[in-house]
């Protein structure tokens, strides 16, 4: 089966201010995500984890190198073709939930499908919310929900569209242990059946659930671990 997403010699730099200094953030990263795989990305703060996820999911353009999603080269796509590719195949869960405050949980879940002009029935939306344990809160606005509940709405919003690949950037970073475990369990249910999960995390136990762990340091892949224990991940980050 073809890889779902890959980056080849990916470089990303940011320029500070107008004509200011150039900050290299990703320095030639090559990585692939296979169908059905759970890939975790770990590394110190500032090592480029979020930037890698943004580039790999087509949210941010690469400075150099190649990004492919489902075999399509992201840099060669028009803005609308990229939007369609992302809309139809890619889901993204942010640390900060990114829900629309004026919409109910149900409306938040239904919104991407409506934007994609995909039919999603009220029953499907309610099922997606029930799957994350929020059937009772469907009519609630995000402001009336706890952080853990808001993140579960954000996960339901992504999962309702059954994307081929889900990217999650520290999805449990702002949550207490119990809510974090619930969100992690939901996301860990994605890989399989040809669908994949790429998750940035600081949580060693969460990383240890992955099939493969990429350890970033200073914008480069420092090491790669297969089926590691939490201890293996800890050693790879610290040594």
In the complex, minimum distance from the CB of residue 215 to ligand ATP, in angstroms, rounded to a whole number: 11
2 binds ligand ATP (CB under 6 A): no
CA 7 to CA 28: how far, in whole Å?
A: 9
Q: Which of the choices ligand ATP, Mg ion, none does residue 23 contact, using the CB cut-off of 5 to 8 A by kind?
A: ligand ATP
Nearer CB in complex with ligand ATP: 21/80: 21
Nearer CB in complex with ligand ATP: 63/103: 63
Letters for 20-49 (x = contact with ligand ATP by CB under 6 A, - = none) are: ---x-x-----------------x-xxxxx
Partner residues linked to 68 by β-bridges: 6, 73
Phi, psi angle pair for 67, to nearest 5°: -120, 125
Pairing outcome for strands 90-93 and 165-169: parallel
Nearer CB in complex with ligand ATP: 51/196: 51
In the complex, minimum distance from the CB of residue 188 to ligand ATP, in angstroms, rounded to a whole number: 21
Nearer CB in complex with ligand ATP: 46/189: 46
Judged by CB under 6 A, the chain residues 148 through 207 that form the site for ligand ATP are none
Decide: helix, strand or coil at residue 21.
coil
In the complex, minimum distance from the CB of residue 25 to ligand ATP, in angstroms, rounded to a whole number: 4
First-to-last CA distance in the chain? 35
Pairing outcome for strands 196-200 and 38-42: parallel
**How far apart, in Å, are the Cα atoms of 74 and each of 56, 123, 203, 214, 220?**
9, 34, 30, 22, 21
Q: Which two tokens stand for residue 40?
A: 């975790």
In the complex, minimum distance from the CB of residue 12 to ligand ATP, in angstroms, rounded to a whole number: 8
Nearer CB in complex with Mg ion: 36/173: 173
Judged by CB under 6 A, the chain residues 138 through 157 that form the site for ligand ATP are none
Query: Cβ contacts of residue 182 below 8 Å, gap of 6+?
Result: 132, 133, 148, 152
Residues contributing to the site for ligand ATP (CB under 6 A) = 14, 23, 25, 43, 45-51
């Amino acid at each position: 089966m073809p890889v779902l997403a890959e980056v080849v010699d990916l470089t990303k730099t940011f320029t500070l201010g107008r004509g200011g200094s150039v900050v290299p953030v990703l320095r030639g990263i090559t990585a692939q995500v296979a169908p059905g795989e759970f890939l975790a990305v770990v590394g110190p703060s500032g090592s480029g984890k979020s930037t890698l996820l943004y580039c790999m999911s087509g949210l941010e353009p690469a400075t150099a190198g190649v990004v492919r999603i489902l075999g399509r080269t992201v840099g060669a796509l028009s803005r609308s073709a990229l939007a369609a590719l992302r809309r139809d195949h890619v889901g993204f869960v942010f640390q900060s939930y990114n829900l629309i405050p004026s919409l109910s949980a149900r409306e938040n879940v239904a919104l991407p499908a409506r934007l994609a002009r995909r039919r999603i029935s009220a029953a499907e939306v309610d099922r997606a919310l029930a799957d994350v344990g929020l059937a009772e809160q469907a009519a609630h606005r995000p402001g009336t929900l706890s952080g853990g509940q808001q993140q579960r709405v954000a996960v339901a919003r992504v999962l309702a569209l059954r994307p081929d690949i889900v990217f999650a950037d520290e999805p449990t970073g702002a949550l207490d242990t119990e809510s974090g475990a619930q969100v992690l369990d939901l996301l860990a249910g994605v890989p399989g059946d040809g669908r994949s999960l790429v998750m940035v995390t600081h949580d060693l136990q969460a990383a240890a659930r992955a099939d493969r762990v990429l350890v970033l340091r200073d914008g480069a892949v420092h090491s790669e671990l297969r089926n590691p224990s939490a201890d293996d991940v800890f050693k790879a980050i610290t040594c």
